[in-house]
């Protein structure tokens, strides 16, 4: 019976995360004058939400605990964001006054900042490329949470702090491109393409240790010839 090959679901989940984060971050930076996040709702439900959640479940089936936890959780995050932002349908924002909504959203984002910090600590044993996703995302969550915690009055309603939201958008954009980079590195490595991308393993990581062991074994083999 031939061995069954199973594809790596991580690049798929990373791409779902990257595109949705890219969209929201661009809006937080008011790119091209777009300030309303309605366009994010579709991507958050379908790609960042459903597809990323599926990728996380598939990672669970192949025993990747970190990938399953992170991708499934952020899939749930994007579905939750889509629910919050859906106008009329769920009426979450309408159930608060504008200041209370900003503070409630701030608590939501602070919770994700804490969760991302936990994931960030787990990436210190992997690679610089992998760690960079969570480091930049962690800063983005913190800035966006503080932006909602300290809103300012615009006319008769409270809106997120403009500068903190912009900085959160910048770091969110960096996280999106870091995720795309890691996705491309994973696809290139698995498909035997004409190029591979360096992910810069930390010297203390398991992958670096195995590389050193292989190099030592090869060196010993040459010396015995």
Would you kindly state where each structural domain of the chain is located, as residue ranges? Answer: 10-223
Please check the confidence at residue 144 and state whether its pLDDT lies above 90. yes
Q: 196 or 148: which carries more pLDDT confidence?
A: 148
pLDDT score for 51: 97
Cβ-contact 142, 134 below 8 angstroms: no
Q: Higher pLDDT residue, 128 or 3?
A: 128
What pLDDT is attached to residue 208? 60
Distance between CA atoms of 75 and 80, rounded to whole angstroms? 9
pLDDT in tens, 69-106: 999 999 999 999 999 999 887 899 999 999 999 999 99
Name the pLDDT band for 200 (thresholds 50, 70, 90): confident
pLDDT at 122: 94
Per residue in 158-183, pLDDT (tens digit) is 999 999 999 999 999 999 999 999 99
The answer to whether 16 and 52 have CB atoms below 8 angstroms apart is: yes
Task: Supply the pLDDT for residue 6.
Answer: 78
Task: Return the pLDDT at 152.
Answer: 94
Which is more confident, 98 or 207? 98
Is a pLDDT exceeding 60 seen at residue 2?
A: no
- Above 90 in pLDDT, residue 47? yes
Reported as a pLDDT band with limits 50, 70 and 90, residue 207 is: low
Q: Rounded mean pLDDT of 36-43?
A: 95
Triad 179, 182, 185: Cα angle to 5°: 150
* Residue 117: partners with Cβ closer than 8 Å, 6 or more residues away: 138
- Tokens encoding 46: 């379908």
Cβ burial, residue 80 (10 Å; 0-12/13-18/19+): middle
5-31 pLDDT, tens digit per residue, is 778 899 999 999 999 999 999 999 999
């Amino acid at each position: 019976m031939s061995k069954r090959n199973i594809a790596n679901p991580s690049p798929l989940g990373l791409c779902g995360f990257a595109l949705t984060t890219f969209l929201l971050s661009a809006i937080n930076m008011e790119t091209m004058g777009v300030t309303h996040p309605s366009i994010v709702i579709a991507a958050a439900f379908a790609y960042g939400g459903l597809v990323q959640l599926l990728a996380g479940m598939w990672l669970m089936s192949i025993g990747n605990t970190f990938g399953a936890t992170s991708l499934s959780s952020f899939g749930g995050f994007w579905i939750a964001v889509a629910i919050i932002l859906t106008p009329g349908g769920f009426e979450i924002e309408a159930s608060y006054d504008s200041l209370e909504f900003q503070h409630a959203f701030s608590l939501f984002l602070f919770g994700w900042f804490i969760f991302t910090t936990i994931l960030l600590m787990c990436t210190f044993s992997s690679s610089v490329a992998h760690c960079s996703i969570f480091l930049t995302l962690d800063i983005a969550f913190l800035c966006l949470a503080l932006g909602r915690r300290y809103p300012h009055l615009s006319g008769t309603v409270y809106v997120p702090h403009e500068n903190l939201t912009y900085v959160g958008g910048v770091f969110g954009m960096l996280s999106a491109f870091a995720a795309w980079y890691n996705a491309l590195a994973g696809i290139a490595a698995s498909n035997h393409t004409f190029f591979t991308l360096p992910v810069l393993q930390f010297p203390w990581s398991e992958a670096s240790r195995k590389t050193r062991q292989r190099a030592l074994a090869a060196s010993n083999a040459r010396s015995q010839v």
